[in-house]
Amino acid sequence: MRLSAERSHPVRWRQVLLPFLLSLFGWALPDQIRYSIPEELAKNSVVGNLAKDLGLNIRDLPARKLRVSAEKEYFTVNPESGDLLVSNRIDREKICGKKPLCILDFDTVAENPLNIFQVAVTVQDINDNIPLFKQSKIDLKIGESTKPGKTFPLDPALDLDAGPNSLQRYHLNDNEYFGLAEKQTPDGRKYPELILKHSLDREEENFHQLVLTAVDGGDPPQSGTTQIQIQVTDANDNPPVFSQEVYRVSLKEGVLPGFSVLQVTATDQDEGSNAEVTYSFHNVDEQVKQFFNLDKRTGEITTKDNFDFEIANSYTLGIEAKDPGDLAAHCSIQVEILDENDCAPEVIVTSVFTPLPEDSPPGTVIALIKTRDKDSGENGEVYCRILGNAAFILKSYSKNYYKLMTDGALDREEIPEYNVTIMATDRGKPPLSSSTTITLRITDVNDNAPVFQQSAYLVHVPENNPPGASIAQVSASDPDLGPNGHVSYSIVASDLEPRALSSYVSVSAQSGVVFAQRAFDHEQLRAFELTLQARDQGSPALSANVSLRVLVGDRNDNAPRVLYPALGPDGSALFDTVPRAAQPGYLVTKVVAVDADSGHNAWLSYHVLQASEPGLFSLGLRTGEVRTARALGERDAARQRLLVAVRDGGQPPLSATATLLLVFADSLQEALPDFSDRAEPSDPQAELQFYLVVALALISVLFLLAVILAVALRLRRSSSPAAWSCFHSDLSSKSGPGVLSNYSEGTLPYSYNLCVASQSAKTEFNFMNVTPEAAPPRDLLCGDASWVPSTNPGDAEGPFASDTILKFCSPDAGCRCRLVLREVSAPPDLMKSSLDPGIQRTVHSLSGCLPRRYLSENLPAKTNQGVTPAQRIIGII
């Protein structure tokens, strides 16, 4: 069955309503705990965690003795978990009947200290009842002369559920003659009425059978049915008629049984026995028959039992009048019950906490008072008051609940015991009242805990303080006397390591003075917090805690530290490259420094102490960014040195320096040779010397080029084939006398070797750039030929003292191949040296090796026969 399934699997949900919903009920409190559960929950089902919702600690439940206080305990509290459990069956229909809202109110009491909480549990209806008709068959007799539109009230179906699950509608099976209408009584009950749609003809059909169904609003809906059997009677009869369709009567709830309520009368136009009318209840609840009697012959209605306004304040009676021909008439009687002040209020002390400690603060709850008056309206309104005692007050926190609370400080030495009388009076006329007396005993306790002068302490201690110095003092007072007022101090907690706490601070147990056990370092410990406790000597002892926060002030005891530029592994400064085409504002590098201090002491500024070229770079005062202030000029050195100072903002300020080596180069390979031999920057005088040495080296190179060109021209003028006999197709290396091969001595770090070769009618003169480490031990020679320098003036035409004469000798041609290099003051048309614009060398003569004609760099050499293969001089790479 569906009902059993719902009961075995109840919807175990609950909801704590929001405080604003409590305003829907005038008797509810803002702090009232509310739950909502379905009816018919199994025993020990959990409604909610009451302890958690009340803000109680579960570990304190055994001492607090949380319990339910109610007339009938539907619920209980689990003492271990604090859960509110169902202890008895909750049948909404039995508890609340047809009330639209079913709420179970009760109190929960917690002791040590005493607190009373009101709890309201809303019981929601489940669809556990089906609509039922009183009779499974309804018999009606309708005359064939009855006009269409006539209505015939029927007994309603009864559904004990409420709200949406209650009876919602009726419907009739389809037929030709009858329809159905739904009516509603003043108390909200729905009942059906049968409507005649067409005239009846007894000769055609004298009997009709219909099925009436009642449906509730459950999900899924449930229904009940009854059979309606209609007999069509002869037209020669008149039905009874009531003088009124609806009668209204008011009764006081105090009327005695047998009191005459009303007499109804129905008349019948028939004569004789056909005019005799009998009366009966029609379409009424069983509850109505318990309180009213109806005389079948006279139609007089009398009371049967005492009325209770608090149970039911109105009744609806349906009366049916029938003649011997079973023709009937119906009327309705509305009976209203008037309340009387017939019940005196009750004063119930649900809980009381005694003895009461003298240190109980004002507002401490001593007892919970509940009043109850069964009357309604003003007759049921109750107010309470305390008779003749100003130390306590009653505070109403709902319609029927009061808290007995302390109104001031209690002193056991003055009054050790109180007798409090509480009187409850209703507002009826005349008013009724009742009273009760509560006896309270006051006990003496250590009721004053030490109190610190401040809620929290904050001290500032500069770093590098002397060990053993006093840094703070805390003070607490206790108004108690004797040992209860004697206070001692201790450190109970700290954010320092427990092992390190004693090495940092200590406190005097008698005076509360806090001492520093060591010198503090702001960079290692900027702040720490202590929890100090003041404890009296009472039994039990009371204590209070206060926090002491120590801020270690900073002093300028740390110089800035440069993170970039960093020194190399050997301790030398590294360098940064700057593009030669860098525009003003170009970010070259950035000096990065940190200071372990804080605040103004760590506010760093950057300054240029020394620069190779002042004005070429700019330095950000706060950022440390090095930027180009202008473009690189022709006279600016490729290497620059900056000495940067980093200062903090302390007083006095501390500083650190950093050296920046900057090289203007378009690539790292271009910058590396310059720094391989010059790790240390020089001053302007040293750089001038450097430029002079470079100029001298260039002059020497140009002179050497001039000698080579002269030899080449000399060889070209020579037309003897034998002069070429020393040049073979194979190029070999052989030691022998020749020009100096290593020019690394002095200021030029490079060596140059000369090779003269002939292969496939092509002659080349090459100056080869070789590093000192990679210089070959031998000069490149032409086959087996040997060549020696010659300075004999007789071997050249018009020799000069500065001429350099190179001879090429071979076993076949002898020493006829001769190269004369001459240094001239102005460049000739035939050959120019690109090594240095101030010094020019050219080939003066070249004889015995090739026809003596023109020879220029990277251009064809012209002879009498035309253009010969290219003759070129390869310069320094």
Asked whether residue 10 carries a pLDDT value surpassing 60, the answer given is no
Using alpha carbons, select from 482, 473, 481 the residue that is nearest to residue 534. 473
Using alpha carbons, select from 256, 253, 380, 381 the residue that is nearest to residue 314. 253
How big is the chain by its Cα radius of gyration, in Å?
Answer: 62
Asked whether residue 709 carries a pLDDT value surpassing 70, the answer given is yes
Contacts of 12 (CB under 8 A, 6+ apart): 41, 45, 46
* Residues 536 and 485 sit within 8 Å (Cβ to Cβ): yes
Using alpha carbons, select from 363, 325, 380 the residue that is nearest to residue 140. 325
Q: What is the mean pLDDT of residues 346-357?
A: 83
Average pLDDT, the chain: 76
Cα–Cα distance for residue pair 563/736, rounded to 1 Å: 58
731-733 and 780-782 strand pairing: antiparallel
CA angle (469, 473, 474) in 5-degree steps: 155
Alpha helices, DSSP H, located in 428-584:
498-504
Band (pLDDT 50/70/90 cuts) for residue 830 is very low
Band (pLDDT 50/70/90 cuts) for residue 829 is very low
* Residues 484 and 478 sit within 8 Å (Cβ to Cβ): yes
Cα–Cα distance for residue pair 473/514, rounded to 1 Å: 6
Asked whether residue 283 carries a pLDDT value surpassing 70, the answer given is yes
* Residues 433 and 371 sit within 8 Å (Cβ to Cβ): no
* Residues 419 and 460 sit within 8 Å (Cβ to Cβ): no
Cα–Cα distance for residue pair 410/665, rounded to 1 Å: 94
Buried b (16+ CB within 10 A) or exposed e, 172-199: beeeebbebeeeeeeeebbbbbbbbeee
Q: Max alpha carbon distance in the chain (Å)?
A: 190
Q: What is the mean pLDDT of residues 41-65?
A: 90
Cα–Cα distance for residue pair 765/446, rounded to 1 Å: 117
Question: SS in 3 state form for 407-424?
Answer: CCCCCCCCCCEEEEEEEE
Tens digit of each residue's pLDDT (9 = 90 or more) over 105-118: 888 888 877 677 88
Cα–Cα distance for residue pair 165/127, rounded to 1 Å: 5
In this prediction, residue 374 carries a pLDDT of: 80
Structure tokens belonging to residue 865: 């026969």
Both ends of the chain: CA-CA distance in Å? 108
Best mean pLDDT range from 359-363, 574-578, 616-620: 616-620
Residue with tokens 């009874």: 240
Alpha helices, DSSP H, located in 664-764:
668-676, 684-717
Structure tokens belonging to residue 33: 């705990």
DSSP state of 577: E
* Residues 342 and 254 sit within 8 Å (Cβ to Cβ): yes
Band (pLDDT 50/70/90 cuts) for residue 668 is low
Q: Give percent of the chain with pLDDT exceeding 90.
A: 27
Please state which of the ranges 17-21, 29-33, 196-200, 700-704 shows the lowest mean pLDDT. 17-21
Please state which of the ranges 475-484, 686-695, 834-843 shows the lowest mean pLDDT. 834-843
Residue 587 dihedral angles phi and psi, to the nearest 5°: -75, 110
**Strand order across the 33-38 sheet:** 33-38, 115-124, 103-110, 67-69
Please state which of the ranges 236-240, 606-610, 689-693 shows the lowest mean pLDDT. 236-240
Band (pLDDT 50/70/90 cuts) for residue 806 is low
Q: What is the mean pLDDT of residues 240-250?
A: 89
Q: What is the mean pLDDT of residues 647-660?
A: 90
Residue 708 CB neighbours (<10 A)? 29
Amino acid at residue number 466: P
Structure tokens belonging to residue 330: 């119906």
* Residues 484 and 538 sit within 8 Å (Cβ to Cβ): yes
- Helix/strand/coil for 377: helix
In this prediction, residue 686 carries a pLDDT of: 67
In this prediction, residue 739 carries a pLDDT of: 37
Cα dihedral 401, 407, 409, 410, rounded to 10, equals: -60
Buried b (16+ CB within 10 A) or exposed e, 729-768: eeeeeeeeebbebebeeeebebbbbbbbbbeeeebbbebb
Cα–Cα distance for residue pair 725/727, rounded to 1 Å: 5
CA angle (90, 94, 100) in 5-degree steps: 95
Contacts of 670 (CB under 8 A, 6+ apart): none
Q: What is the mean pLDDT of residues 170-180?
A: 91
Tens digit of each residue's pLDDT (9 = 90 or more) over 744-787: 333 333 333 333 333 333 333 333 333 334 334 333 333 333 33
Structure tokens belonging to residue 412: 């056991």
Tens digit of each residue's pLDDT (9 = 90 or more) over 855-870: 333 334 444 444 334 3
Please state which of the ranges 64-68, 101-105, 715-719 shows the lowest mean pLDDT. 715-719
In this prediction, residue 99 carries a pLDDT of: 80
Residue 96 dihedral angles phi and psi, to the nearest 5°: -120, -10
Residue 555 dihedral angles phi and psi, to the nearest 5°: -120, 155
Structure tokens belonging to residue 368: 């919970």
